[in-house]
Chains A and B, each alone.
Chain A
Amino acid sequence: MPPPSSEAGDDDGSPPPSPALSPRGTSSTPSLPAPSADVDLTDEVQDFRFLTSLIDSETAQKLPSRGTKDFEPHGTRAQDAALAASRAAMHAALSLARVHPRGGQRAEWDGKDGAWVDKPGGFWVRSVGRVVRVPIADSDSDSDSEDQPSDTMPTKPKSPRKPKTEARTHLHPEEALWLLERGSLDIHWPPAPGEAPFTGLPMSLQGGYAAFLGEVLSLEVFTVYQYLKRAGYTVLRAGENEGSVPVYKAAAGNPLSVLFARLWTALFAPQPAHDPTTNTSIGPAPTDPTAPRVTYHVYKPLPGFKKTSPGPPDFYVSVINARESCFPSERQLDGLLAQTPYHPPTGVTNLYLRLKKGYRDVVLAVVDQGVAWSMAIWTS
């Protein structure tokens, strides 16, 4: 961490200029040299006139890293015109309808949470949705074509037949809503009684929000899911992916050196009240519904990802509603971190790197109309 420059070496009272804001006014005024921190473009509302830089390379205007906003209204018509142009650009950009070619995948709302997909295909199937075996609706009145009786065999008495099942792809509500918003999937309401499936009315975006948000999926969780998917990650529910969390195996060392190390630490090393090396196992999700828990396992967008065997997740994300919870207590934070794998910083000698890595870590996604990300690391 490079310290801010100071001649006398003590912490200065005045903070350096923040990178989050552009200098006041137009570009003709002199500006101070900017500190080298990253600029997070999602921090501010950006002008929609720069949206074209992302979609149309021909008329692209480069997205300025700091924007060209003013400090206060000064009544010039130029400023009013710029504002009207921005608002018009926003209106135009958001008025476009979601279209996709006919013949793509379609799905149907299953009535409580999620949707069934008709013929899964397309790029998203690699990372979204799960195959569920569902009993076929009319398996009772099975036609003889299912059976293949051999003429040579004597007829057996009819044993109770296991219901026939078929493999269908099911989407969780956040997955279905995300695909609907992207315009990749056509979702239908359940059909009128007596009609064939997938012939119900097509779901609008508004209908999608009404159908999929509710007790199971809150808007906070969906916001985080959507943010991560738009950034390109693969996101799986933690509750269904527990088998992928790696269990820690201590490296077997020379027994003599292990004994010596234990003796040394017992005699000379300070004894911390909480020894992080004592508990290396993965704990269960907390039973208290208000306690924070790991919501999603997130994987970086690398090729070769398999839904059936995803491997150890890259990040563990816990979604927190800022308005309805406080900063967790020690016990709650401990319970939350217990659901993440234990990874001691062995072999790292640099103090700062050791502290940065820590023994366990979790990503906290705190949501209040927009996500604030931070990482909590158990250092010792």
Chain B
Amino acid sequence: MSYGTGTRNRRPNYAQLHARPLPLITTPLPAFIPHNPLSLIRILHALLLPYIAPPPSHPAPRYQAYFSPATRSVHVTDPAAVRALWESGFFGKGSLSRSEPTWLEGEKRRRGLGAEVTSEEVTAKRRRERVEFKRERARLEREAVEEQLRKEKIAANGGAVDELVEKVAALEVTEVNGSAQAGESPETVEDPVEVVVEASDLKAEAAADPETAPAPSVQDVDIHLVNQEHLQLSLEEAFFLTYALGVLDVQLPSSSSPTLPTNASYLHLFRTHSRFPPSATLTPTDPFLLRYAVYHHFRALGWVVRDGVKFASDFLLYERGPVFKHAAFAVMVLPSFTHEYWFEDPLGVKERRRVEGERGGRDWVWLHCVNRVQTAVVKTLVIAYVDVPPPGEEVDDVGDVLGRYKVREFCLSRWSPNRNRG
């Protein structure tokens, strides 16, 4: 499959675009074919090459990003880095887009420069159609109710309905219909969201018509159009790229030293900002540590892990990526306390109670709410318990700190006695 050169709406070849699961370059061992001695030579070559002339596995200059305390996230602005991070592993989110950074494309289309259709526009079109449909349905319903009311009024007043009354009724019906249509405009005024959609629809419709809109030269566009969007990485994603993969450098806002911070200082910074307002005291129950443990766990197993707030969960798990198939699992992170410190030490008990009371106390109503949301969008809920270690020495070895956390998953699905009979 190749890129559509003539038609603009051909879908890009996602398998080719997203061939790499992570922003690292790996050289797989060639296949061993027993009856072909040449394959053995190829394998030896591949095995010995890393010792003689190692091929690069990491991007040559590491990707640059900066930490933004206002948004508690890490921003990437270099276009090459943005593309690379999105395409190999689906890291981050476009700050002005729904997920993939497509603001520039959308802006070009809005100005009539003939860029590809973005997913936001497709969705907007679908929503417009749905709103139209709903409006039509509501109008028919209203008419049916008014018809019924009118009939009952006649029955109450009259008794026998003679021809004259029927004619009047027929006239009334048309009048009612007319008034129903006229009555629509006050309805739309009352509904500001719909009006806004309509206004922007018209603009988009006009701009989307490539034949009628003038096409300024591409060079003019490059001068005037600056990409206002940046790629926003969550703290877990940034730490994974920095610590686990080593492909990202994060600039801190207030640091003036030329040397970059160590992984330990990143950890300290992210832990501080995982609560709002940022707290100086660090505890083993910091939300960043719990979330990162689960993020790292699932990334290590090969899942593409993305934020799940859209579906009221902590993370979403994709097998290959959001462009291939919808997420199959929604992960909820729950802290789990098994060490005796959390039950015997008064400080530990207080901290445990505070954490367990978060999110409304994990009662069954909350669980069924989340479970029903997931069922409606065809995802399975996964509860990931993170075993929290007691507070120990604050060491600089990040691996040591993280290694004390243990993750365990349970799947929760709806069950029906009627469907499971026999």
Contacts and interface: CB of A to CB of B under 8 A. Distances in A.
Interface of A: 1-4, 6-16, 18, 23-26, 28-30, 32, 38, 40, 74-78, 227-228, 231-233, 270, 273-274, 300-302, 315, 320, 322, 325-327, 329-331, 333, 351-352, 355-356, 358, 363, 366, 368, 372-380
B95 to A, nearest CB: 16
Given A231-B421, A274-B406, A38 B322 contact: no
B338 A330 contact: yes
Contacts of B407: 273
Interface stretch (B76-84, B134-142, B167-175, B260-268): B134-142
Nearest to B326: A3
A10 B406 contact: no
B119 A2 contact: no
B145 A74 contact: yes
Contacts of B420: 315
B136 A30 contact: yes
B387 interface: yes
Contacts of A320: 364
A71 to B, nearest CB: 8
B409 A375 contact: no
Most chain B beta carbons < 10 A, residue from A4, A74, A300, A363:
A74
Interface residues of B, number: 72
Closest 10 CB pairs of A and B: A8-B119, A273-B406, A3-B326, A330-B336, A25-B141, A330-B385, A375-B415, A322-B364, A9-B323, A377-B411
A380 B409 contact: yes
B2 interface: no
A30 B118 CA distance: 31
Contacts, number: 174
Interface string B256-300: 000000000000000000000000000000000000000000001
Given A26-B141, A227-B417, A355 B385 contact: no
Interface stretch (B40-48, B107-115, B365-373): B365-373
Contacts of A270: 300-301
A378 B410 contact: yes
Interface of B: 14, 98-100, 118-119, 122-123, 127, 130, 133, 136-138, 140-141, 144-145, 148-149, 152, 300-301, 310-311, 316, 319, 322-328, 334, 336-338, 361-368, 371, 376-380, 382, 385, 387, 406-422
A374 B371 contact: yes
B390 to A, nearest CB: 16
Given A7-B122, A30-B137, A327 B411 contact: no
B123 to A, nearest CB: 6
Contacts of B327: 11
B123 A12 contact: yes
B137 A29 contact: yes
A227 B418 CA distance: 10
Nearest to A375: B415
Contact of B413 (A12, A331, A374): A374
A76 B152 contact: yes
Contacts of B119: 7-10
B235 to A, nearest CB: 22
Nearest to A30: B137
Given A8-B122, A9-B322, A228-B417, A368 B378 contact: no
A352 B316 CA distance: 15
Nearest to B97: A10
B416 A40 contact: yes
Most chain A beta carbons < 10 A, residue from B138, B311, B338, B378:
B378
Nearest to B327: A11
Contacts of A325: 364
Contacts of A25: 137, 140-141, 144
A1 B378 contact: yes
B324 A29 contact: no
B364 A327 contact: yes
A366 B366 CA distance: 13
Contacts of A23: 137
A29 B144 contact: yes
Contacts of B376: 15-16, 18
A377 B329 CA distance: 14
A326 B368 CA distance: 12
A183 to B, nearest CB: 23
Given A24-B141, A38-B419, A78-B152, A10 B322 contact: yes
A119 to B, nearest CB: 31
B364 A78 contact: no
Given A8-B122, A301-B422, A326 B361 contact: yes
B100 A10 contact: yes
Contacts of B316: 11
A198 to B, nearest CB: 35
Given A26-B141, A273-B407, A274-B408, A77 B414 contact: no
Given A24-B141, A376-B410, 14 more contacts: A1-B378, A29-B144, A30-B140, A78-B152, A273-B387, A315-B420, A322-B365, A356-B411, A366-B368, A374-B415, A375-B414, A376-B411, A377-B412, A379-B409
A51 B311 CA distance: 38
Nearest to A26: B144
